[in-house]
């Protein structure tokens, strides 16, 4: 089974080399002091350029572009699409009162701020059909003044589910609060995410797991339905296989040092303090595919 994650755009968190900064409202991103996780302190105190506010017509066009991208993914054979409305990217910005202060049909009331997410959910469901998996990724809480809180998301998640989400993939925070987005210890999101599970009719995923025992405990206690690995798979791509074969004790665990994020944000090859092969797999013979056997030419009589 293969799902694709589809994003509406970076919003005001874009890097300058990607072009003009655009967002729902002209509110610059600021990364406050003491808001960054381990390894990311170099970004504290930064203020990004003030973004240009997207026009109503531009948001309309982005919705159509998103639909077209979903159609291409369906045509390519993907089994599902996860809408990335998380971590302060454009889809989250449109939903959050801290970033969306528009007065058109896409801003103002909570109903208007949910216009784009719900439109996209409905569109992806129609494009994919009933057997297509449609997920929605979002933060359980934003962690900034005027942003979406856990109580807000406990109200919003059931609305997302009613409009077509088959599962909810959770995280926390955004670029203005990297400390809760990338915590220095594993499993710290589970308790918060259990509050979302209480109101969700579909499976809920919680990330930030490196120890299989931590994930198993969260699942056994019914606090979440699935666990996300992500950085754990950078540290050890064989994580699931080692658990399956009873070799969890030899897993190379993610240290939550955020080396991978620093290199990613700096646009270098992704690196990992626990896995020196990360980002260099094409140079390591163990990852090479088997040699191709040439097909003999066909001789026509």
Among all residues, which ones are annotated catalytic?
Answer: 89
Identify which of 135, 12, 123, 137 has the alpha carbon closest to the alpha carbon of residue 85: 137
CA dihedral of residues 61, 66, 71, 73 (deg, nearest 10): 150
CA dihedral of residues 204, 87, 142, 67 (deg, nearest 10): -70
Backbone angles phi, psi at 206, to 5 degrees: -120, 135
Spatial CB neighbours of 273, under 8 Å, sequence gap ≥ 6: 255, 257, 259
Identify which of 191, 120, 203, 215 has the alpha carbon closest to the alpha carbon of residue 157: 203
User: Longest Cα pair distance anywhere in the chain, in angstroms?
Assistant: 79
Backbone angles phi, psi at 6, to 5 degrees: -120, 125
CA 97 to chain centre: 20
Backbone angles phi, psi at 163, to 5 degrees: -100, 15
Q: What is the DSSP letter of 242?
A: H
């Amino acid at each position: 089974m293969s799902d694709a994650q589809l994003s509406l755009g970076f919003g005001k968190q874009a890097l300058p080399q990607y072009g003009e900064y655009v967002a729902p409202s002209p509110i610059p991103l600021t990364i406050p002091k003491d808001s960054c996780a381990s390894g990311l302190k170099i970004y504290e105190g930064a203020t990004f350029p003030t973004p240009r506010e997207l026009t109503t017509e531009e948001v309309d066009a982005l919705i159509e572009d998103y639909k077209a991208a979903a159609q291409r993914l369906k045509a390519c054979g993907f089994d599902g699409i996860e809408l990335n409305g998380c971590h302060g990217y454009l889809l989250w910005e449109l939903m959050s009162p801290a970033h969306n202060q528009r007065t058109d049909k896409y801003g103002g009331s909570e109903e208007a701020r949910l216009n784009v997410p719900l439109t996209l959910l409905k569109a992806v469901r129609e494009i994919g059909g009933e057997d297509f998996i449609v997920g929605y990724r979002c933060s359980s809480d934003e962690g900034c003044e005027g942003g979406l809180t856990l109580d807000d998301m406990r109200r919003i998640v059931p609305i997302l589910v009613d409009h077509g989400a088959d599962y909810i993939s959770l995280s926390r925070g955004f670029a203005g609060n990297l400390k809760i987005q990338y915590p220095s210890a594993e499993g710290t999101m589970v308790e918060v995410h259990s509050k979302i599970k209480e109101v969700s009719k579909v499976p809920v995923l919680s990330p930030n797991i490196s120890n299989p025992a931590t994930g198993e405990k969260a699942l056994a206690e019914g606090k979440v339905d699935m666990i996300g690995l992500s950085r754990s798979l950078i540290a050890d791509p064989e994580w699931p296989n080692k658990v399956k074969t009873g070799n969890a004790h030899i897993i190379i665990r993610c240290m939550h040092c955020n080396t991978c994020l620093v290199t990613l944000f700096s646009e270098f090859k992704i690196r990992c303090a626990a896995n020196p092969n990360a980002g260099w797999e094409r140079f390591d013979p163990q990852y090479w595919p088997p040699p191709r056997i040439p097909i003999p030419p066909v001789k026509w009589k």
